[in-house]
Each structure stands twice: as C-alpha cells, then as structure tokens.
A and B are shown apart, each in its own frame.
Chain A
Amino acid sequence: MALFTLQDISVAYNKQNILKDFNLEIEKGKLVSLLGPSGCGKTTTLRLIAGFLQANEGKFLFKEKDYTKVPVNKRNFGFVFQNYALFPHLSIFDNIAFGLRLRKNSKSEIEKKVMNVLEIVNLKGFEKRYPQELSGGQKQRVAIARALVIEPDILLFDEPLSNLDANLRVNMRVEIRRIQQELGITTVYVSHDQEECFSISDQVAIMNKGIIEQLSDPATIYKYPQTKFVADFIGFKNFIEFDKRTDHEDKIELNKSGYSFVLHKDAQMTNASGKIGAIRPDDLLIREKEDMGAVLENSLSGRVKVSTYLGRSYQYVVETPIGDFTVNKEMTESYRTGQEIILEIPRNQMVLVD
C-alpha cells in the first residue's frame, strides 16, 4: 500500500503550468528519487509534498487521509535543503533540538535524542559548535540530523549534496542511504546527478517538463527506457526512427528507408509499440571494410566523419545512409577521419522507445 499519493496535481506559476496532471505513489520505507533536467519541476514537487506550496488542482493523500490543506508545521515531514539552512544563531545542539523543543519534549528526552542522532550522523562532540564553524559536509549532516530527530514520516531531500566536492558527495550518498535503510524512512530525493540517483534509490522517476516520463527501479531505467526523452537523458545518444515494426515470437523486425534490422526480443522489453530505436555509443560496433566479404545483418556501411580523443577512448561520428551515429571505441582501435567502415547494431543492444 502506498504511504502517500499525489493525485492529478497541477501547479502553476503566473498561469504557466509547472506540474500538470502529476501522479506519484510512494511506498513506505522506499527511497524514490526525482531526476531530470533543470527546471523540470523537481523542487516544485518536493515543496508540494512538504506543504510549502499549494496545488491549484489535485490531491495529496497521506496514509489515505487528505493532506492537501494540512499546513507545513502539522505534517511532520523532514526537509533537507540544498544550502543546509541551519540556524546561524543556534549551536549544533540547539539546531537539532529545535523541532524537539517545539514538540515539548522533556529536557532529558531532548538530550538523549540529540546525542543519539549525532551518533547516527557521526558528529559526536560537535554539539557546542555553531554552523559557521563546520565544513560543508558536516553542515549537511547536521541538517540531516535535524530532520531525522523529529522522527519524520517522510524525509525530503533537495539536491543535498550539490554544494559538496566530488569525493565527499560519494561518501555522503552512501551515508544517506545507510541511514535511510537503517531507520526505514520513506524518502524522496531530488538530484540532477544521475549516478547519485541510481546508486541510492529503490526507484527513480525521470521527469520532463512537469511530468514523470518513467518510474522504475534504477536497473530497469538504465536498460529499458520507455521514452526517447528518458533514453536520451540516460545516455542513449543514437536514435533511429523506424518506418515499420513487425513483432515475431522471439524477434522484432524493423525497417528504415529500405534497410532492415532485427532485434532480439526479451521478456523485460515492455514497450510494445515504440518505433524509435535507441542505442548507446558504447554498444555500437565498428569494423574495417576489408574485414568482411558479405554484408552481415544489422550492418550499415559508413564513413568516419569526426574523430574525438576522449582519454580512455575515442568517440567517432559515423555517417551512414540513415543518419549519423555516435560511437565510442577503445583506445586500441583507431580509425581515421574519412575512413570507410562498417557499422553494426548488435541484435540485443537496441531498445525501442516512444
């Protein structure tokens, strides 16, 4: 059963729809991340859940109760901000105790809970300091502790790691995931760092212009994007818009301007109607023309148009009769610009999207 549900939500700023007919359901104890390009409405969604923002239409259900109009301070949801938002006039102890004091906890209870949560976020001994005296990573851990200590029903993160350097980001995301799983807190996590989302989430929602394009577990999104937008977003750089798709028992036949391709059919391939083929640059194969006598299936003859050195590999743009393709190749094989080659799309490396 879902812990909370956003039902047909619409949000507009200045008559411009930011979210439209937005639906999202999250189960208890799961970490769901919202991933998408800048301005797609991730923060808006999070603020809506927190109650900072009212929807123009739609409902927010929490434990099957209508929470749409419940004010922020009555929701008991924790929020962790991108820039930490620690109270500069309060010590770390008082920052964390802020929510407990409002809940009229006794002095000894507050002491116990604060110390306990400081232990969870590995900040024992820092309670007398002030926020200005902490590093970015420590501040973020205080922010997390402050949100955790009120035992929130939902924990909301808005790009909590984007102000930290790369190494710390990796450590912190592991920490966040560990704490989230240990305490079993239902969490919504916003980021535009793909790796971050994929590594810590039970489910990832890919958003585009105020709608969710796909909501699945990370592995499914990575392998089987449903739409062209999602595919593009997660690195399928090559797209072929086929004219015709014919499904057989164990394969799919595809046609484009007289060229035909075969795709291996696989049980997890849920998109039954998409006619756009998507392939990652890493999954295409290039062969020298002389290598082969007869033209193999799923192959096109092409010419190297651009060759770019990427350090670990080369990136080629290959020109073919049905369009340009981007291909990544190991350092060991290199092709000259202008060289005639054969480009092969392996049977099991293409996915079909809408």
Chain B
Amino acid sequence: MNNNASPTNTDERRLTIAEALREAIAQEMERDPRVFLIGEDIGIPGGFGGAFGVYLGLPEKFGHERIIDTPISEKAIAGAAVGAALMGMRPIPDMQYSDFLFECMDELVNQAAKMRYMSGGKLSVPLVMRCPVGTANRGAQHGQCPESYFIHVPGIKVVAPSDAYVAKGIMTAAIRDDDPVLVFEHKLLYGSKGREQAGGLDLTAHVPEGDYVFPIGRGLIKREGHHVTVVATHLTLYRCLAAAAELALEGIEVEVIDPVSLQPFDTDLIFSSVEKTGRLLIAHEDTLTGGWGAELAARVADDCVYSLEAPIKRVAAHDVPLPVAPILEQTVVPSQERITREIRALCAM
C-alpha cells in the first residue's frame, strides 16, 4: 500500500499549512456549534489573527462569542478549555508558542489527561491545543519542541503535521476526537513567511476543498527506499528528504517516514519499514535525551530486533537550551549535513 495519501498534481488546489489549518477550523466551526477558539491575540480587530495569522478572517465569520480573546493567562486558557470540554463543548485553545505550555502544565497533565480515567470513563475532554514549535533565532524561551513531554502523559494524544494536506486532515480529526489532542506545528513551515529560513522549501500542498480526516495514529511514507528507514517530523523531515535525495546519488536509497502522530505512533508502518530496510535513524529538533526518538527506538528495538542489521541511530538537538546566535543555533539543531553524514555512516555499518 502506498501510504503517501497526498497527491502531488501541481494543477490542483495548493494551500500553505496556515491556510489548511484555518480551513479545517472554519469547516469544523461551521459544522459543529460546540467548536470554539480561545487564546491570546487571536481575534483582536486590527490584530494578528493569532501569533502566526492562522485565524485571520475567522472573527468576521464566526464572531467574538466563538473566538474568545483572553488576557495573558495560560492557566485560564487551558483551564477554561478543560472545563468547557467537560461540559460538552469542543474548545481549541491556542498557545502562541509551545514554550508557554509550561504555564499550564497542571491543567493539561493533571486535569485534561486524567478526567476520563478518574471518572471511570464517564467524562471526556475533547480539546485541541495548538502549539507552535521550532527554532527561529529567538533564543532559549521561544523555540523549544516540547512534544516529548506530552507523549509521556497517558490520556493525551500528540500529533505533529508537517504538510498542508496532513495539517487540514489531522486538525479535523483532532477536533472530532473525544480525547485531548496537542497539535504541534512548526513555525517555519506555516507558509511563505518561513520559506527563506526553512531553506527555500515549497511549503504548499494539494488540499481538497471539502472536509476530510487524516486519522490520528497514521504515518506516511514520504519517500520509498530499501537501505535505511528514517523517521522525522517538521523541518527536520524536510532536511531528511533533502539528505535522501543527496544520498540517492551515492546509491543509498533512504525510506523517509513522517510519523505524523507521536502518541500513538504508527508502529505498523514503522516496523514494516524497518523489517524491510534493517536500519533505522530517527531525527528530531527536540533535544536527544528523553525525546520521542528514544521511545520509538525502544519500541523498534523490542519488536524488530531480528530485522535490525545495525544499531538504531538518533540525530537530535544537542542537550543544551537553544542559543540565539545563528552559528550556535545551527550547531545545536540537526542540519541536513549532519543528517546526511549520520545516514551514510549508518549504512556503512
């Protein structure tokens, strides 16, 4: 089966990730009156439409009763989302930057994640937290990738779309899901704005006009190959794809997988790829120790031990906070060059 569900016919309707997310949210708000947005600077007239413009145009369409601007109060945002979700609404709370999630860890970890379980399955917390991640020369408190903190919390689902087709479908799936879902999006992948810093990528993809679901828990093969499996998300995924193109010239065929969901992982897809290639490299922009790559590596080690022909490798940010100077930042987060080198070394083992 070809898991690459995203058609690439260039004549088709192409959207950026920001546009795709906006479309998903608008369609779900249209479809379901329980869905509403809540966060800082999301709907102020003359304002920003959220930190990355994803909500531009929505207040005009849905009004300020369903697009609720809050004070700078992440605990209030997350707490209100949990409470409203418990009482039958479908809130989409917004974190301008993922780094601010730490302001509302209690509401997410102690409340959202545990209400279903503590109630013996009688309650649901269907909220969708939007969480932008990624390094962009803003230093230690505005560039972290904290996805992995949350895969550790039973009761929370974690997804990380990297292209517009998946973004629309997984946002729709998340809104319709009965559990709390954290949607991590990369700042440099939203659209044309980040293009330059993201290395001149074309970040648009074909996006069907109607609503559709990209299921949580399903990954995608972005490029087929038989020598080594590489699993990566977000900007790092694109660096891996570029590395794969480079290595193809040397005769190394890399299979690149976008896991899309980090909790739950699409283990079927990843295991069968590793069974085919015998080698696995996991790459992420989050730091190495305790990153989601560690969890995935452990699962593959468990399940695919007889298929593995070499140790599982991880390429991750070094275990330091993010520095701001470009030369330091480039050293810390995985570069295409570092990824290429590591894949090459792994294939030589």
A and B found bound together: no
B residues with a Cβ closer than 8 A to A are none
A residues with a Cβ closer than 8 A to B are none
